[in-house]
Structure 1
Amino acid sequence: MSAWPGAGAFLDLDAVPLTDRGSRLLIFARPDGSLRVAGAVYERHADRCTHLRRLAVEDADGRQLPVTGVGPEGISFSDGAVSLTFVDAETLSLGVADEGPLVRVVLEAFGTDELGQPISEADGAPIRWCSTQGRATFGAPSIVLPAGGSVSVRMGGAVRATPEPGSHGRYVEAASGRWRDWFDKLPAVRDSDREMARYAWWLLASNIVRLATHPDLETVVPSKQGYVAAWQWDSYFISFGLRHGDPKLAADQLRLFFAEQAPDGGLPDVVHDGGTLACVADMPPGDLVALARIHGPDSPMVTQAYMPITKPPLAAWAARAVDQAAGSSLQDSVQAELKGGLDRLHRWWFDRPSPDGLPGYEHVYSSGLDDSPLFDDGGPVFAPDLPSYLVMALDSMAALADDCGDVEEAGAQRSMADATADLLVAERYDAGLGQFVALTPAGRRETLTPFALMPLLTGRLSTQVLESLRESLTAPGALGAAYPLPTVALGEPEFDADKMWRGPVWLNVNWLVVQGLQRSGMDAEAADLAERTVHMVRESGGIHEYWNPLTGARAAGATTGFGWSAALFLDLAVWLASRRK
């Protein structure tokens, strides 16, 4: 059915459900070959969000018709004899081809309440079934459809067994048109990357929702399976990939967070349907339990209700990248639009408590590294990555000042960037170890992670320091894995190939190091890491949350169809394609 096999080939309806731009509906396969419709809900796994327990299509003899094709525009049964497509965010249409067989559509709701009304496991979206005579039917209704017949199912609405003639064909055509328009924006990549790039581009659109708190903006969430909200870090990374084909949508991912900026300049970690997560008091109970288990029930990261939780400051860099991709003038610049908020954000970070003038992370979630050994001693942690991001941010603001012809502002921003980079080397670089280290409540933490390479982003390191980082990048026992970069060096006792931030490859980490290598004039090393990264993604057969650095396969516990991985795969693929020109 699909006109875009590079996307449809990955929609297995098992790990990767079918969904649509803006929809909260997820269509999964059941073990018996029928379908299940789930909902996308913040902090709830799709297995616990069933709207429609079973949707099956049977022939006149009661035999179930198999699913034979899946694409962005819908699902086909029996080689197109019957098809299913999205009408809108809440409505599905199932129709029989004009020359198709007579079929029976079986629809099973999850159950009924004490009043006999149907309910679903998902929040706020009960299903109501109506027969052609208008009488409500519950349990397991079935509808007989002749050739050319169709039925529509609306979550929270009714089944229409007698829709307008020809409507299903128009719905399929409209869905195909929507996706054709989206794929027309796909950025240019090499032939070897095109199939995975199409899938990545589909993922970005398919992960779009409208949050109840910001219904005017399309928000690209990390995944509709549990990650149904905007995380600050994710949104920045997603914008880097989106900018190549839809810079306006990319800019909106940044505007979302600055619409929630606190008066003191801080930004929330998460924006979700119910509000924001900006401090410990906002955290879901499950997260507090997990943190108490790791860091102890008396940890300030659990007990200090008003400890801020945010994410690393990549906004200025992302905004400038979006403007450059769009060719924006100053009048249209999203960086210029957000300048006041960006300056306040940077001041907020530099005003945080610090032993030596370099800011740190009070809460582990603010670093984005939930279980990294850098936080095994608790918090705060003064790691080398945060000052590096701030140098990038200040350089981006200096470039904006250059655009505006403000020499004094540009000089002030660069002077602060220079001072921060100098202090980073003076305070965090250990010449004996040949690496950057972190400060924790227990003292120095020398565990080697790729975050020790983030000072490459400053573009200001000496030849001696660069050579030591080059060695860490490739040495066996360090970060030189078969599939780089492990998030903990292979020779460290904390290394675990499958445990989130304690060993697996995260695509955003590789991407950040590629950018740092470019900024530090190490173009060959940047290209090699980018090439190995996109190769790993292609060979793994999907766009996952994180990968095993020893096998290159999806790591145990990692979700798939992950937003920032899709966006940054695209960004790397676009860059590699541009190097051939």
Structure 2
Amino acid sequence: MMRSWPGAGAFIDLDAVPLTDRGSRLLIFARPDGGLRVAGAVYERDADRCTHLRRLAVLGADGEQLPVTDVGPEGITFARGAASLTFVDAETLSVGVAADGPPATVLLEAFGTGDDGRPASEVDRTPIRWSSTEETDALDDLSIVIPASGSVSVRMGGTVRQTPEPGSHAKYLADASYRWQEWFGRLPAVRDADLEMVRYAWWLLASNIVRLATHPDIEAVVPSKQGYVAVWQWDSYFISFGLRHGDPELAADQLRLFFSEQAPDGGLPDVVHDGGTLACVADMPPGDLAALARIHGPDSPMVTEADMPITKPPLAAWAARALDQVAGTSVQAELKDGLDRLHRWWFDRPSPDGLPGYEHVYSSGLDDSPLFDDGGPVFAPDLPSYLVMSLDAMADLADDGEDAAEAAAQRSLAEDTAERLLGKRYDVDLGQFVALTPAGTRKTITPFALMPLLTGRLTGPVLESLREALSAPDSLGAAHPLPTVALGAPEFNADRMWRGPVWLNVNWLVIQGLLRSGLDSEAADLAERTVSMVRESGGIHEYWNPLTGARAAGATTGFGWSAALFLDLAVWLAANDNQVADN
């Protein structure tokens, strides 16, 4: 009998959150008629266009469809145990009938139609074959009667086999339960109030694992199997912060994957996917180019300059050191040469004043932020702040190795960068850090104006001004902080990606900055409000509406870095509560 894991199965609604399995590209959705649809996970393609099985239904002895009555990480239960479905492996499902129940019929309808009108079999090249009596590439309906204790095994792109071996389905169920029991056994300690959502977050991190064709030996944790079926550089860094608490080796692999793709000049790609990498404008999917042309114009260099690099903010040294500190690993030392080359790459980019900027909007991660409304390059305050953090981490590594000269060189560059940031990017009249764009100074307030907190070097009126922005009603003081554009700004839109909604990585970064700047109570308050918003919203989404705290319109759910950073905050809050109690 399958076990439902509290805090995971409760959120797998088979609608916004399909059932999938570690390493699998199969996504199981509910149909309006009560049956199931099996789709595939493909880079840059909506799951609606990737249908493997248009319908999978289990019928009782009376011919009526058995309802789904329970869903958990290990599978789906029909009619309170009369039948069940589980994963055999990454490409194979098993449907079985209870030993003490009546026979049932599994109905399979293959080859749904994609949203472009083509048969999904043509889109996905995954014929379903019935191997017991015949083989065909064009099955519309297939009814298979299963006796008590019997089962059907369905392999996408392979065969349908009735009762492959006696008792096989029970074994598949037991194997699935064991796999998830082992994974949930790695959960770190958190508060009771956060436990249910933490279990769901922990399931998401495992369920978002795939093996990319370019890196078959590495388990890659993708942001989401619905469209985001690749690894993005800063997503992988954020995901590693969560994974480090229960699977440090998997966390390390998320970093290693990108450094295995490092260019000779030290740059890292934005994306690694099944077909290669996205490292410059020439690598961009047509849909992304079309979207950028609409926003910035068809003649924008971000659309036309094929060699323009596309990457993501340099958080790797920080992520590696954070992993080592929790897990006792030595990943930062392992990647040291690549990390130094990455930092040099950023400082070697064209700059008006020695502080690097973003040539392409995608390199910032802020796809539609008003910071880029004037085009690029944009010299925003967040990038130098990340580099100061990274250089401090490298200096700490040098201290570990008792290399005083190396530590001094790293800290000297960090200090110089922090001083330039304060001198060149701080607007005294506004009391905020600002961005330089092709049109001049962009004064729209976003949380990225708070990222200099990460340097740990702000004092006096500058520090106080940033602290006040957290709660100012016309700035970032939303009911559910932090909005990605100030509430009083004309560009604010509560549901439009980086123009208003709350992103967990932004809140998490600001919390780290508050801690680095000695504002511990403000950090704890923002962390508490963040995890409360997630719990009350009923899911782990891509981004949230800052006015309502609900999932924002257009945001996907079951999102990787949101899961990882919610987990990291929950672990920190539990440790912080324990520390307060001990004192």
Give the TM-score normalised by the residue count of structure 2.
Answer: 0.97
1:398 has 2:399 as partner: no
1:495 has 2:496 as partner: no
CA distance in 2 between counterparts of 1:252 and 1:62 reads 49
| Structure 1 match to 2:272 | 271
CA distance in 2 between counterparts of 1:363 and 1:126 reads 41
Aligned-residue offset at 1:125: 2.6
Aligned-residue offset at 1:162: 3.0
CA distance in 1 between counterparts of 2:302 and 2:271 reads 17
Where 1:580 maps in the other structure, the secondary structure is helix
Q: What is the one-letter code of the residue matched to 1:316?
A: A
CA distance in 1 between counterparts of 2:490 and 2:151 reads 60
CA distance in 2 between counterparts of 1:69 and 1:463 reads 56
Aligned-residue offset at 1:104: 0.7
- Runs of 4+ residues over 3 Å off in structure 1: 134-137
Superimposed CA distance per residue, residues 443-479 of structure 1 (whole angstroms, 9 cap, x where no aligned partner)? 0000000000000000000121110001111100100
Where 2:337 maps in the other structure, the secondary structure is helix
Kept in 2, the 8 Å contact 1:20–1:89? The answer is yes
Determine which of 534, 539, 542 is the counterpart of 2:539. Answer: 542
Superimposed CA distance per residue, residues 278-306 of structure 1 (whole angstroms, 9 cap, x where no aligned partner)? 00000000000000000000000000000
| Structure 2 match to 1:361 | 358
CA distance in 2 between counterparts of 1:198 and 1:236 reads 21
Residues 122 and 568 from structure 1, CA distance in 2 versus in 1: closer, same or farther, beyond 3 angstroms? farther
**In the TM superposition, what are the counterparts of 1:273-288 in structure 2 within 5 Å?**
273-288=274-289
Where 2:215 maps in the other structure, the secondary structure is coil
**In the TM superposition, what are the counterparts of 1:259-408 in structure 2 within 5 Å?**
259-328=260-329, 333-408=330-405
1:452 has 2:455 as partner: no
Segments of structure 2 that go 5 or more residues without pairing to the other structure are 114-118, 579-583
Kept in 2, the 8 Å contact 1:41–1:122? The answer is no
1:87 has 2:83 as partner: no
| Structure 1 match to 2:525 | 528
Kept in 2, the 8 Å contact 1:119–1:127? The answer is no
Q: What is the one-letter code of the residue matched to 1:288?
A: L
Residues 578 and 122 from structure 1, CA distance in 2 versus in 1: closer, same or farther, beyond 3 angstroms? farther
Residues 102 and 512 from structure 1, CA distance in 2 versus in 1: closer, same or farther, beyond 3 angstroms? same
| Structure 2 match to 1:579 | 576
* More displaced stretch, 102-111 vs 373-382: 102-111
CA RMSD of aligned residues (A): 1.1
| Structure 1 match to 2:155 | 154
Aligned-residue offset at 1:128: 2.0
Residues 135 and 487 from structure 1, CA distance in 2 versus in 1: closer, same or farther, beyond 3 angstroms? closer
| Structure 1 match to 2:116 | none
CA distance in 2 between counterparts of 1:553 and 1:246 reads 30
Q: What is the one-letter code of the residue matched to 1:481?
A: A
* More displaced stretch, 137-146 vs 316-325: 137-146
**In the TM superposition, what are the counterparts of 1:56-455 in structure 2 within 5 Å?**
56-110=57-111, 120=121, 122-130=123-131, 132-136=132-136, 138-328=139-329, 333-455=330-452
Aligned-residue offset at 1:229: 0.1
1:560 has 2:557 as partner: yes
Aligned-residue offset at 1:134: 4.0
| Structure 2 match to 1:115 | none
Identical counterparts, % of pairs: 82
CA distance in 1 between counterparts of 2:237 and 2:424 reads 28
Residues 435 and 121 from structure 1, CA distance in 2 versus in 1: closer, same or farther, beyond 3 angstroms? farther
Aligned-residue offset at 1:135: 4.7
Superimposed CA distance per residue, residues 501-541 of structure 1 (whole angstroms, 9 cap, x where no aligned partner)? 00000000000000000000000000000000000000000
CA distance in 2 between counterparts of 1:31 and 1:111 reads 15
Where 1:471 maps in the other structure, the secondary structure is helix
CA distance in 2 between counterparts of 1:203 and 1:285 reads 29
Kept in 1, the 8 Å contact 2:53–2:112? The answer is no
Where 1:474 maps in the other structure, the secondary structure is coil
| Structure 1 match to 2:24 | 23
Aligned-residue offset at 1:119: 6.1
CA distance in 2 between counterparts of 1:124 and 1:523 reads 54
Aligned-residue offset at 1:198: 0.1
Q: What is the one-letter code of the residue matched to 1:282?
A: D
Where 1:210 maps in the other structure, the secondary structure is strand
Aligned-residue offset at 1:129: 2.5
Q: What is the one-letter code of the residue matched to 2:56?
A: L
CA distance in 2 between counterparts of 1:135 and 1:277 reads 40
Segments of structure 1 that go 5 or more residues without pairing to the other structure are 113-117
Where 2:240 maps in the other structure, the secondary structure is helix
Kept in 2, the 8 Å contact 1:540–1:553? The answer is yes
Kept in 2, the 8 Å contact 1:2–1:70? The answer is no
Kept in 2, the 8 Å contact 1:2–1:69? The answer is no
Kept in 2, the 8 Å contact 1:41–1:123? The answer is no
